[in-house]
Chains A and B, each alone.
Chain A
Amino acid sequence: MSATLRETGENFSARYHGLAPRLPGPPDLRRRAADWFDRHGLPDTRDESWRFTSLRPLAGIVFSRAEDQDDTAPSLLARLPPTEAPLLVFTQGRMRADLSRFPAGGRAGISVASFANEPSFGNVPDSETEPLSALNTMLAEDGARIAVAPSADGGTLVLLHLASGNAEHPPAFHPRHQIRLGAGARLTLIEIALGTSIYLHNPLTEVVLAEQAELLHLRLQDESAAAFHLGSLHVALGPGSAYESVALVRGARLARSELTAAIVGEGARFALHAAQILGGEQLADITTVVRHLAPGASSRQSIRNVLTERAHGVFQGRIAVDRIAQKTDGYQMNKALLLSEEAQINSKPELEIFADDVKCSHGATVGALDPNQLFYLQSRGVPKAEARAILVAAFLGEMLEAIPHSWGRSVLEGAVQSWWKDRPV
């Protein structure tokens, strides 16, 4: 079994070695990532940080380089409620000017370029020695480069990741995105990933917030139910900056969403509200590392899992507080609602605190729907399936209702509501 997972990794290495001279950008980092990947390949469950999340479903799949091809982008686009907001569309990891909608000449204060045209690997720590990042570094060919000028309000930008997979020749793509906000800049970034059939989406996203910058980052991962999503997000927070994210994971057969936040500026605020709603045989993993490297900053992580059938949810959250990061306020909570006997959750919080004057807490809860609450609703005439949906919505409600962007909220709420339609209860 592990031999074939190794083969899957070797395929990626072989692709790199075949493509290397033609890949965009400076070659050194790629080469180091490839060296590391040649030696280590894809991680298995002996790797401590992959203990709960087995990549075994990837074993034996030969992923090919994503080609430009006829795609299902228009029908995927039609799944979204209409919006006037500027739209950047990627299909199979490539920027599609023809499908994007961005005012000619750009907008005041915000610039958009592609990695293919202006390749830069940015400044992501360990991006050649962490498995998902190394895979991306080795094979990235395109991505979005978004920059908001100091003091500018970038408004709303929608970043759509569409994928047409293929059951016989599943494509793999590794887009490299970079979002930079100058001092005092603001942006609402809404990322939505949708797809059909089998593919591997391995994005790496770097977010850099300069002093006092504010990013609202809304994310919906609704990949094809047969697809694989292995993504990593790296956020660097400057002094007084604010990163706030609401993220919903409901797609992919196997998903791992890594997030590392480096709080390097004093008084920065980091907030992640994430939910995983999973059924069937889905496995989804959120793994976060929040590093407090400056004093007086806060981090809040609130994770919700709704798991039914044989779904498996994983949350691993590490908060590391550096010696100088006094007055840190760290909070982490992982709650799971198990709707079936076979559903399971793994929760692994880790606190590493080297400062003495900090406030850090974490917690986890696991439970089923409360039969008293169900009966109360039923006794008022609400059918059982609807009663369950109401209670699940209530479990996620706090997080969704608080989204300070109406279109973004409707996209995420719609994704929760439609989840029930496909599900026997």
Chain B
Amino acid sequence: MALLEIRGLAAEVEGKPILRGVDLSLPEGEVHAIMGPNGSGKSTLAYVLAGREGYHVSAGSVRFDGEDLLAMDPEARAAAGLFLAFQYPVELPGVGNANFLRTALNAVRRARAEPEIDAMKFLKEARAALKRLSMSEEMLKRNVNVGFSGGEKKRNEIFQMALLRPRLAILDETDSGLDIDALKIVANGVNALRGEKFSALVITHYQRLLDHIVPDKVHVLSEGRIVRSGGPELALSLEESGYAGLVAEAAA
């Protein structure tokens, strides 16, 4: 069985159906891209997988490593190895980034019955991760995402991912609004984790991220359904023909 098995997933927000039967299978060690027009339900899918309140699952199932993902609290999903890089990272005034990250890391370690790490060791790891990602250490001293530029927020998500070492990362348009240097930092952050024990769902609008993170598969989401799946070449053909043709095809 694949690491992530989504079957017939339907979800609604405030009574409005958004996901209308999503089927997706992500084998361990693979990276899949999800593309699709604005409003097609990409973020909704990400939030439903991460367990955000307010999303009502009306049908279907999600298995993560064989477990019923939808029955778990958001924090339990994180402990099980799921990580969501937010499309819009949240600001936490009054919460220091270093403290936040150490609290998160130790919460996850506790849930996995691993020993907590102390402040010194944490700082060492954090600094090493920042260096690998060409980010400034000053990031640790600031409040979580407060006063960060759009690009800094996205990089902070990747930094968190690097420290938490998830089994499954969901990146929700982490590339949007990034210049090419920042885009490479994000791609390097993902590629550094790639391996047998790491899988990812990369949600994006653009082919250009997929030049740097080459996916094993590409899925196209439209109006809450996956209307096409294929290899990396699918992203390229989408770039040329746009979604319009596909969407019309799916409707026919």
Residues of A within 8 A of B (CB): 371-373, 375-384, 386-387, 390-391, 393-395, 397-398
Contact = CB atoms under 8 A, between A and B. Distances in A.
A380 B107 contact: yes
25 contacts: A373-B91, A373-B92, A375-B50, A375-B74, A377-B92, A378-B73, A379-B50, A379-B52, A379-B83, A380-B78, A380-B104, A380-B160, A381-B105, A381-B108, A381-B111, A381-B164, A382-B107, A383-B107, A387-B75, A390-B100, A390-B103, A391-B95, A394-B94, A394-B95, A397-B95
Contacts of B93: 394
Contacts of B107: 380-383, 386
Given A378-B73, A380-B160, A381-B107, 17 more contacts: A375-B52, A375-B74, A375-B90, A377-B100, A379-B75, A380-B107, A380-B108, A381-B105, A381-B108, A382-B75, A383-B73, A386-B107, A393-B94, A394-B95, A395-B94, A397-B95, A398-B94
Contact of A386 (B78, B79, B83, B103): B103
A286 B67 CA distance: 52
A378 B94 contact: no
A384 B93 CA distance: 18
Contacts of A380: 78, 100, 104, 107-108, 160, 164
A333 to B, nearest CB: 15
A260 to B, nearest CB: 31
B148 interface: no
Nearest to B54: A371
A371 B52 CA distance: 9
A381 B75 contact: yes
Given A371-B53, A390-B95, A378 B78 contact: yes
A384 B75 CA distance: 8
Interface in B35-90: 50-53, 73-75, 77-79, 83-84, 86, 89-90
B94 A397 contact: yes
Contacts of A398: 94
A98 B144 CA distance: 49
Contacts of A390: 95, 100, 103
Contacts of A379: 50-52, 74-75, 77-78, 83-84, 86
Contacts, number: 74
Nearest to A392: B94
B78 A376 contact: no
Contacts of B78: 378-381
B79 A381 contact: yes
Nearest to B91: A373
Contact of A376 (B77, B92, B164): B92
A394 B92 contact: yes
Contacts of B50: 375, 379
Contact of B103 (A375, A382, A384, A395): A382
B104 A381 contact: yes
A382 B86 CA distance: 16
B244 to A, nearest CB: 33
Contacts of B103: 382, 386, 390
Nearest to B163: A380
Nearest to A401: B94
A393 B93 CA distance: 11
A418 B156 CA distance: 31
8 residue pairs, one from A and one from B, having the closest CB atoms: A394-B94, A381-B78, A380-B104, A381-B108, A376-B90, A378-B74, A381-B107, A397-B94
A292 to B, nearest CB: 31
A406 to B, nearest CB: 18
A398 B100 CA distance: 16
Nearest to A370: B90
A30 to B, nearest CB: 47
